[in-house]
Structure 1
Amino acid sequence: MTMIRLPTADPQGTVLGAAPDLAESACAYRATGGYDGATAPDELLAHLAASGLRGRGGAGFPAAVKLRSVRDPGGAPVVVANGEEGEPGSVKDRWLLRARPHLVLDGLARTAAITGAVRGFVYLSDPVAAGSVRRALLEHPPPLPVEVVETDHTYVAGEETAVVRRIDGGPALPTAKPPRPFEQGVGGAPTLVSNVETLARIALTAARPDLGRAIALTTLVTLSGDRTTPLLTEVPYGIPLRALAAELGIPDATGALMGGLFGGLVGTDALDLPLEPGALTAAGTALGCGAIRFLSPGSCPVATAADAAAHLAAASARQCGVCVSGTGAVGNALRALAAGTAGPDTADSLHRWSQGLPGRGACGLLDASAGIAGSLLRAFPRLARSHLAAPCPLCAAAPPDGRRLTVTVPQVAVGTTSPAPASPTTPISPTTPVSPTALPLPALKGTP
């Protein structure tokens, strides 16, 4: 079961809050300043622009710019809290809807006030989260009609055009762009599709505008790896990836699979990079949804790449022929590479696909598959080609299985009150089954 670890003993301005293992009631949320109307919509928008808050759904688009793009055309916009979490290594959105639904609904109501929206939706596939959100709506009815829309859990169901299509009664499949949802979304209206963590940070900024910059420069991350207990925590931008690996219990990590599946593989040298979207993008990888799977010395990056490609091939929506054939080809090639049965031209084929496939599908799934292939060859070129000469014992011990990358959601108990903030404790092993604790984090590097 995934553990939760508080970054500090002070929960002020954090998404994790004081009791991340307990579902927060409306009463407890209001006691922390939630649902307070002191910050007016225009004032909040100015705070968001000044703080530089970016979306946490993966693309990292500036939140204030996105809000204005829906508000400025006028009309009757729609706002959507997107909690559909397709990346197998990420749990933050489902945990957030289970544990702090009021924080998300508060953020949704505030974006409605900024944009002038007249309808709202909470979009998800997790039945436990759906129940939590419905209870929260009964506890504290929002200032606009809000509907919970459930969908089947798939990799592409959270893509913004798939969200709109499903809410409008169709399948949760991406559509061609343009138009984008901010131009023409639910029911043809300008639509803000916002990740639930983004909405949570908007609500936090409304309650504590003095902490706006810190709120914008902190993010939830899901950390996982071989033979370690996954960890959900909240960290500031700028912390080195290597420090996060040590926090997970893999201080000697040899690389990582970044951004869920979208950031690709990185090698040991990249672990000195700061956890900061711009720095990671410049280095050829991505933070994405904040899911990072670290590689231990006893694991093989080729096997991890094969796992990722297998997951993506199985997740294809099968509505684009190039995606079906492309993800299948990459998956088969990496499976053969891991098994030691690849042909001599396999590495060259992977390189060619990594260059030619991106941008050819309706969504980012094909791009992610191509990125896995290309990143393996960039980060571990000699290792990848050594698999052409002889079978790898590490790969043989763990045949490709896309399900291996899946991380479970932390347990959240349903309660009516939240306990006092946790006190500082001595660092513990991430394999120790305990309640959430506050742990000191290493000094920051490269904080913007």
Structure 2
Amino acid sequence: MLPSHRNNLAAHLSVHGGLPALDRDALIHEIDVAGIRGRGGAGFPAAAKLRSVAPGRSIVVANGCESDPFSSKDRALLELAPHLVLDGIQVAAHAVGATEAYLCLREGNRSVLAALAERRDAVPVKVVAVPHRYVASEETALVHFLGSGDARPTGKFPRPTERGLRGRPTLVQNVETLARFALVARTGADRFVPTDLVTVTGAVARPGVMEVPADTPVSAILARAGGSVTAQAVLIGGYGGTWMPRSLADPLPLGREPGLSSLHLLPDSHCGVELTRNILHTLAGESARQCGPCMFGLPAVAADFTDLLSGRDATGRLARRLPLLSGRGACAHPDGAVRLAASALRVFAADVHAHLTAGSCRITAGAA
């Protein structure tokens, strides 16, 4: 999926060949058998999402915004393999009978624009720059932005596949998911070799994006990235992901935990409680501020973690507060913050205890 250098259209076609003609039902069947799931973090079965879009007058929105600071896989894909993504948009448009398509990015991408200039696609693709906000890449926020210029989520119902942009059925898919569509359309499910793009950061010698076989264990990915053998915790899934002790995370196949395809190996010199507090403050500041969990709950959770760092016991408040936030937001933004906070309290329990009893843990004490 990810070449070592960018291919122009001629080179892309020499590697992958042209897109074959497939009818809608056959195409969705191949995607289903291939087991493709959304690669934007939710992991929803792609074929089920395609089938939920009423064919005819529908719209395809390719999501390449990638707002999480711990993920850069989509940017790498768009830079090195833009034609594979653009092929995937055409495949998706054919599958749902779309007449319009949009590619949403955080900023202009010269690689994508150059690729579009080489093509004459059946369904024109319009590139749209989306505001630099964390929640702006949520699917209802993208649809809302394209229709009104306001990049805030609009709630869980109706789903965009039922009533999206300008009231028309709208399919929103991550760009890596769409690249997989383009591969399966060519190979069929029986010859499709699934791989995952993963961003690795933190205590690794070779940070960045790598492509690995599907279900590769976390330990193998970290070893390939030159991960520190002494690091004790890894954040799986980005800012809305899950902290895990290294010993438990190592044997897990990538993708088993919710969130993005992202691994952040906590350096020995960093306090996990402090990093979690900083992420929670960012998530609180980046919310749309239009539902109770985001407007009041996330700032309160971030403040509770600040109290923990200062030696003030907020564990009781957090135990009561976190269950009240999960599943109650207008989108899944609060759910990710709750998942992050709850996992940090489990994984860094000894550090929390040290902050409460001694005013600091071994890391923050050394930095003082």
**TM-score computed with the length of structure 1 as normaliser:** 0.77
Query: Partner residue of 1:305?
Result: 276
Q: Does 1:56 align with 2:39?
A: yes
CA distance in 2, matches of 1:398, 1:356: 35
1:76–1:117 CA contact under 8 A, matched in 2 = yes
1:94–1:126 CA contact under 8 A, matched in 2 = no
1:55–1:198 CA contact under 8 A, matched in 2 = yes
- Given the alignment, which residue of 108, 111, 122 partners 2:103? 122
Query: Partner residue of 2:76?
Result: 95
| Offset at residue 210 of structure 1 (A) | 5.8
- Given the alignment, which residue of 26, 29, 41 partners 1:46? 29
Query: Partner residue of 1:78?
Result: 59
- Given the alignment, which residue of 331, 334, 353 partners 2:302? 331
Q: What percentage of residue pairs aligned between the two structures are identical?
A: 40
- Given the alignment, which residue of 183, 188, 197 partners 2:162? 183
CA distance in 2, matches of 1:242, 1:30: 35
Q: Does 1:274 align with 2:252?
A: yes
Query: Partner residue of 2:232?
Result: 254
CA distance in 2, matches of 1:186, 1:79: 10
**Contiguous gaps of at least 5 residues in structure 2:** none
**Would you say how many aligned residue pairs link Structure 1 and Structure 2?**
366
Q: 1:74 to 1:202 in 2, by over 3 A?
A: closer
Query: Partner residue of 1:35?
Result: 18
The structure with higher relative contact order (CA 8 Å, sep 6+) is: 1
CA distance in 2, matches of 1:77, 1:354: 38
Secondary structure of 2:240's match? coil
Q: 1:111 to 1:212 in 2, by over 3 A?
A: farther
Q: 1:80 to 1:343 in 2, by over 3 A?
A: same
| Offset at residue 81 of structure 1 (A) | 0.7
Query: Partner residue of 1:420?
Result: none
Q: 1:393 to 1:123 in 2, by over 3 A?
A: same
Query: Partner residue of 1:322?
Result: 293
CA RMSD of aligned residues (A): 2.0
Q: 1:43 to 1:75 in 2, by over 3 A?
A: closer
- Given the alignment, which residue of 263, 272, 284 partners 1:292? 263
| Offset at residue 305 of structure 1 (A) | 1.4
1:78–1:119 CA contact under 8 A, matched in 2 = yes
Query: Partner residue of 1:234?
Result: 211
CA distance in 1, matches of 2:23, 2:56: 21
Q: Superposition pairs for residues 16-35 of structure 1, below 5 Å?
A: 16-17=2-3, 19=4, 22-35=5-18
Q: Superposition pairs for residues 353-432 of structure 1, below 5 Å?
A: 353-390=321-358, 391-395=360-364
Q: 1:189 to 1:397 in 2, by over 3 A?
A: farther
Kindly indicate which of the two structures has a greater share of residues assigned to helix: 2
CA deviation digits over 1:272-308, x for unaligned, max 9? 332243xx3xxxx42x220110123333221221232
| Offset at residue 220 of structure 1 (A) | 0.6
Q: Does 1:199 align with 2:168?
A: no
CA distance in 1, matches of 2:278, 2:211: 27
| Offset at residue 313 of structure 1 (A) | 1.9
Q: 1:396 to 1:158 in 2, by over 3 A?
A: farther
| Offset at residue 153 of structure 1 (A) | 1.5
Secondary structure of 2:137's match? coil
Q: Counterpart of 1:384 in structure 2: which amino acid?
A: V
Q: 1:393 to 1:314 in 2, by over 3 A?
A: farther
Secondary structure of 2:160's match? coil
CA distance in 1, matches of 2:21, 2:168: 29
Secondary structure of 2:184's match? helix
My pick for the range that moved more, 314-323 or 357-366, is 314-323
Query: Partner residue of 2:139?
Result: 160
Q: Counterpart of 2:251 in structure 1: which amino acid?
A: L
CA distance in 2, matches of 1:226, 1:353: 32
- Given the alignment, which residue of 222, 243, 248 partners 1:265? 243
Q: 1:226 to 1:274 in 2, by over 3 A?
A: closer
| Offset at residue 253 of structure 1 (A) | 2.8
Secondary structure of 1:94's match? helix
Query: Partner residue of 2:150?
Result: 171
CA distance in 2, matches of 1:384, 1:146: 50
| Offset at residue 397 of structure 1 (A) | 6.0
1:80–1:122 CA contact under 8 A, matched in 2 = yes
